[in-house]
C-alpha cells in the first residue's frame, strides 16, 4: 500500500487517479498513524515552500517522513515534495526544510525566451543509469513541470536527473529508496506513468537491489 500524504498542500486528485489507472494499491492518509500498514509514502506538494512546510509540520507528518526515510523505506516526493527534502529555500528564507538532503532551493532566473515559472514540457537527462525510478524510461524523455524554484544539491551524487531551463538543475534526486522529482509524473503521460509504476514496484518489494546512492 502506498500512502499519499494529505497535508493540505498537494494535488491529490490527479495522483490518486494515476495510481488507480495503474492499479497501484494506494490511499490518501490524513494523519501519521494512518501509515501503519503502508509500504511506501508519496509526498506531493503545490504552492509556496514555507506554507507547505508549515502545513506538513502542523499535520504531524515531519517525524514520520524523517523516520521513514531513515529506515530506507520507499519514499517519493513530487514538486514541492522534492524541495521540502532540502535544508531551505530562497522562497521562504526563514523556514527550515526537512534537511534530509544537503543543499538549498533557488529561484529560476528569467531571461529572453525564459518564462518563470516554468510551465510545460521539458526533458529530463538521466544521471544515474542504475536508478530504478527511470527503468524503461528513455533518457531525455519529456515530463510536465510547473515551478519557479529548483533544488541545488550540495552532494552531486544525489542528482538522478537534470533539466535545463536557463540553468541545468536537478529535476530528480535521491538517496537509497528515497526519491523525489520536480516534475509531475501524474501529468506526464506515458513517461510519468512509468515512473509511478516503477515506484509501485519498489513499494511492492520488487527490485529490492535497485537503490540510489
Q: What is the C-alpha separation between 76 and 18, in angstroms, rounded?
A: 14
Question: Where in the sequence numbering do the catalytic residues fall?
Answer: 79, 184, 186
Q: What is the C-alpha separation between 17 and 91, in angstroms, rounded?
A: 30
Element (H, E) at 194: helix 189-203
Q: What is the C-alpha separation between 95 and 59, in angstroms, rounded?
A: 16
Instruction: Outline where 32-182 has alpha helix (H).
Output: 49-58, 61-70, 80-83
Give the chain's radius of gyration (CA, Å): 16
92 close to 149: Cβ distance less than 8 angstroms? no
Amino acid at each position: 500500500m502506498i500512502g499519499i500524504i494529505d497535508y493540505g498542500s498537494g494535488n491529490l486528485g490527479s495522483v490518486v487517479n494515476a495510481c488507480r489507472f495503474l492499479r497501484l494499491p494506494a490511499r490518501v492518509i490524513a494523519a501519521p498513524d494512518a501509515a501503519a500498514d503502508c509500504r511506501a509514502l508519496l509526498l506531493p506538494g503545490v504552492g509556496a515552500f514555507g506554507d507547505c512546510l508549515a502545513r506538513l509540520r502542523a499535520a504531524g507528518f515531519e517525524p514520520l517522513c524523517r523516520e521513514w526515510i531513515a529506515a530506507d523505506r520507499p519514499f517519493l516526493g513530487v514538486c514541492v515534495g522534492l524541495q521540502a527534502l532540502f535544508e531551505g529555500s530562497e522562497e521562504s528564507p526563514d523556514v527550515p526544510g526537512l534537511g534530509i538532503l544537503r543543499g538549498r532551493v533557488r529561484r529560476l532566473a528569467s531571461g529572453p525566451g525564459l518564462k518563470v515559472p516554468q510551465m510545460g514540457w521539458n526533458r529530463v537527462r538521466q544521471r544515474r543509469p542504475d536508478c530504478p525510478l527511470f527503468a524503461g524510461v528513455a533518457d531525455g524523455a519529456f515530463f510536465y513541470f510547473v515551478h519557479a524554484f529548483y533544488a541545488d544539491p550540495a552532494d552531486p551524487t544525489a542528482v538522478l536527473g537534470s533539466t535545463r531551463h536557463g540553468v541545468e538543475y536537478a529535476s530528480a534526486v535521491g538517496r537509497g529508496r528515497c526519491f523525489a522529482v520536480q516534475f509531475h509524473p501524474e501529468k506526464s503521460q506515458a513517461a510519468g506513468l512509468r515512473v509511478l509504476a516503477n515506484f509501485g514496484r519498489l513499494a511492492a518489494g520488487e527490485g529490492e537491489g535497485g537503490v540510489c546512492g
